Structures are given as C-alpha cells and as structure tokens.
Amino acid sequence: MGDVAARQFDCLMLNGKNYQTWVVDCQFHLAAMQLTHTITPRADGAPAVPAHEIAKASIFLRHHIHKDLKQEYLEVRDSLTLWLALEERFGKQKTVVLPQARRDWSQLRFLDFKTVEAYNSALHRIVGQLRFCGQRVTDAEMIEKTLETFHPSNMMLQEQYRNNRYRKYSELINVLLAAETQNELLMKIFNMRPVGSNALPEAHASFHKKNKTFYKKGMHSKKQGHNEGKFKKQFNRGQKPRGQEKGKAQNGQKGDGNMSEHPNKGCFRCGSMNHWSRQCRTEPHLIQMYQDWKKASKCRGSFCSGTC
C-alpha cells in the first residue's frame, strides 16, 4: 500500500548520508506547523506538551524516515526521544563531512572549471558543508579564493578585478558571468563567416516562394512557346502536327487534311500553299502585287464595263 500522505521532502536514508539536509527540512516544516517545542528539550518545571501535538510531530518524523529506521524505532512514541535518538546516531556526520569539505576547499581552483556557473555551484556546495559543520567562510575569503586561482594567462584580468575591490562575492561572480556571456557572443559572431567577407543576403520565406512560383511559370511558358513554334514550323511545311490524323486527299491532290477543308487552299494574301494567312510573313509590296493580279484575273473572267 502506498503512503497515506505525500512526503514534503526526501526521507532520511538508512546510512544517514542526507542527515544534514533532513534536519533542516524537518525544522522548517515543524516550525510552520507550530510544533517546534515538541523536539526541543524541556526545562524542569516547564508545562507539559499536549499529547496530540506530540503524536502529530511523531507521525511527521516517522513519515519522513527510511522504513527500516521506522522498524528499528518502533517502540519510540515520543517525538523528542525519536529526534534525540536520530541525532545521537547520525549527528556524528559533522566529524566525517568536515575533513572532506576542508580538503575540497583547499583543492578548489577557478581554472579547473569550464564555466563560471560550474565553479560557482561547486564553491557554494563546499561552503555550505563547512558552515553546517560550524566553520564560517566569509565573502572576502571566497573572493580571494576565486581571484588567486585564475589561469596565469588571465593575470591582467585578475589584477583588474582585484583593483575593483569587491566587498561581496555575488558582485564578483555576476561580473564574471557577464564577461563569459559576452565572450561567447563574440566568438559566435567571429565564427559566422571569414574575416573581411560580406554577410549573406537574408532570405525571406514569402519572397523565396514567390520567386519559385515565378520560375515555374516562366519555365512553363517557355516550354509552351517552344512547342508552339514547333507546331508552326510543321504547319508551314505542309506536314501534319503530331497527334492529328492525316486528312484524305481531295480532287486527286495530296495535302494536309485541314487545308483541304478550306476552298482557298492556302494563304489568300500572297497565294502561297505552304502556310495560312495567319502565318504569312510575305513582304507588303509582294502581297499588293498578288492582290492586284488576283483582282485583274477575276475581272477578265466576267462582264466588265472597263471602269475597274
């Protein structure tokens, strides 16, 4: 069966590795529930704590410890007794954490980290362990620790930051974070293109789509015009365009089936049998001569009064 109520924070591990954070979380939550006096040693003559408050605090503590620890302290019903038993068992963690925290502090170097954020996180973790063990670390010590572990190539920057005389570590770390961000931006701009080259023109999506459509239309029109020219060339030669059937010869003559349907049998402007009047490219003076001859031959074949 699952837990009756959800845990507000991680439970105490069986080996007590997270005892430091567990103690702080319990103190905050019990203070919010107004039950801090249930885990505080009582002076002689102090009023007794109500039983329902002790039971409420005991339920909270047992709900946030490992199930094996809950089984070990099954007979403990008082919240203060349980609190002191856990402190006696895992309170010695300070003596174990302090030597390791001091060693980490002595070996901490700013140049060993790739980013300022990673160094800042490691420093605060070590400082938190030292402060939990009772050893205070001031802002001046953190600032000096950061500046004296710069890379030798950044010696000038170290002197500049030292001359600013920062009083709070947060001021120094904010300046370092801003400088790191600006350096990354500078490198991105430098790597965009070779030195001395011009920037590429910006490509707009709608403009690209419009040009692409225009290109397709232009190619279609060009292809259509090519086919039309090919059709005219075949028609001018008296040949059948591709895809059409041959017309039957009429009056014992061979020719195009479509041209045989017209009585003029060719161009009525210049008299040529090789093209239609729509495709006529004959010179105007030749067309005029043909029209005069046609008119004169038509006149001789009829009753003419001589006025033409």
pLDDT digits (tens, 9 = 90+) for 178-193: 999 988 888 888 888 7
Per-residue pLDDT, averaged over 203-215, amounts to: 54
Give how far Cα 217 sits from Cα of 53, 205, 213, Å.
85, 18, 6
pTM of the model: 0.51
- In the prediction, which pLDDT does 50 show? 87
pLDDT band of residue 113 (cuts 50, 70, 90) is very high
Q: Is 65 helix (H, G, I), strand (E, B) or coil?
A: strand
Amino acid (one-letter) located at 162: R
Q: In the predicted model, is pLDDT for residue 207 greater than 80?
A: no
Q: In the predicted model, is pLDDT for residue 214 greater than 60?
A: no
Q: What is the pLDDT of residues 25-34, one digit of tens each?
A: 999 999 999 9
Q: In the predicted model, is pLDDT for residue 259 greater than 90?
A: no
Minimum mean pLDDT range among 15-19, 70-74, 242-246, 264-268:
242-246
Q: In the predicted model, is pLDDT for residue 205 greater than 90?
A: no
Please tell me the distance from the alpha carbon of residue 217 to that of residue 123, in angstroms, as a whole number: 66
pLDDT band of residue 250 (cuts 50, 70, 90) is very low
SS3 percent helix, strand, coil of the chain, rounded to 5, is 60, 0, 40
Q: How far is CA 279 from the centre of its chain?
A: 62
The answer to whether 22 and 10 have CB atoms below 8 angstroms apart is: yes
Please tell me the distance from the alpha carbon of residue 51 to that of residue 158, in angstroms, as a whole number: 61
Q: What is the pLDDT of residues 142-160, one digit of tens each?
A: 999 999 999 888 888 888 8
CB-count exposure of residue 37 (10 Å: 0-12, 13-18, 19+): middle
pLDDT band of residue 290 (cuts 50, 70, 90) is confident
Per-residue pLDDT, averaged over 77-85, amounts to: 90
- In the prediction, which pLDDT does 231 show? 46
